Amino acid sequence: MSFRILMFPLAILATLGLVGAGIVALVLALIYPDLPSLDSMTDYRPKIPLRVFTADDQLIGEFGEERRALLKLSHVPMRMREAILAAEDDRFYQHGAVDYQGILRAVMANVFSGSVKEGASTITMQVARNFFLSNEKTLTRKLSEVLLAYKIESNLSKDQILELYINQIYLGQRAYGFGAAAYVYYGKPLDQLSAAEMAMLAGLPKAPSRYNPIINPKRAALRQQYVLRRMHELKFLSDADYDYALHNPGHATPFHSGFLLKADYVAEMARQYMVQTYGEDVYNRGYKVITTLFKANQDAAYKAVRAGVMAYDHRHGYRGPEDTADLATGAVSDEDLEDALSDVDVSDDLYPAVVTQASEQAVQAYVKSVGPVTVHSEGLAFAKSALSAKAPASRQIRRGSIIRVARTDKGEWEITQYPDVQAALVSLDSHDGAIRALVGGFDFDQNKYNHVTQAYRQPGSSFKPFIYSAALEKGYSASTLVSDTPLVISDPNINNGQPWEPHNYEPEYEGSIPLRLALAKSKNVVAVRVLQAITPGYAHQYIMSRFGFDPERHPAYLSMALGSGQASPLQMAAAYAVFANGGFRVKPFFIDRILDDHGKIIRKTQPQVAAEGAEQVIDARNAFVITSMLQDVIREGTAVRAQSLGRSDLAGKTGTTNDHVDAWFAGFQPSLVAVSWVGFDKPTSLGSHETGAQAALPIWMAYMSTALQTIPESQPILPPGLNVVTVNSGKGEARQDYQYANPVEPAH
**Catalytic residue list:** 88, 461
State which amino acid sits at residue 642.
A
Other beta carbons within 10 Å of 360: 11
Residues near 412 by Cβ (< 8 Å), separated by ≥ 6? 378, 379
d(CA 265, CA 282): 18
Beta bridge pairs of residue 676: 425, 665
∠ Cα 195 200 204 (to 5°)? 140
d(CA 16, CA 292): 72
Instruction: Tell me the residue ranges of DSSP E strands in 601-657.
Output: 601-604, 615-616, 651-656
Region label for 279, one of left (φ > 0), alpha (ψ between -120 and 50) or beta (otherwise): left
Selection from 626, 640, 647 nearest residue 706 by Cα:
647
Q: Are 738 and 624 in contact, with CB atoms under 8 Å apart?
A: yes
**What letter would DSSP give residue 248?**
-
Provide the CA 15 distance to its chain's centre, in angstroms: 70
d(CA 528, CA 525): 5
Strands 288-291 and 50-53: parallel
d(CA 329, CA 587): 62
State which amino acid sits at residue 244.
Y
Residues near 409 by Cβ (< 8 Å), separated by ≥ 6? none
d(CA 198, CA 346): 27
Edge-to-edge strand list for the sheet holding 672-679: 435-439, 422-429, 672-679, 662-669, 651-656
Beta bridge pairs of residue 182: none
Sign of the torsion formed by the C-alpha atoms of 136, 137, 139 and 141: positive
Residues near 247 by Cβ (< 8 Å), separated by ≥ 6? none
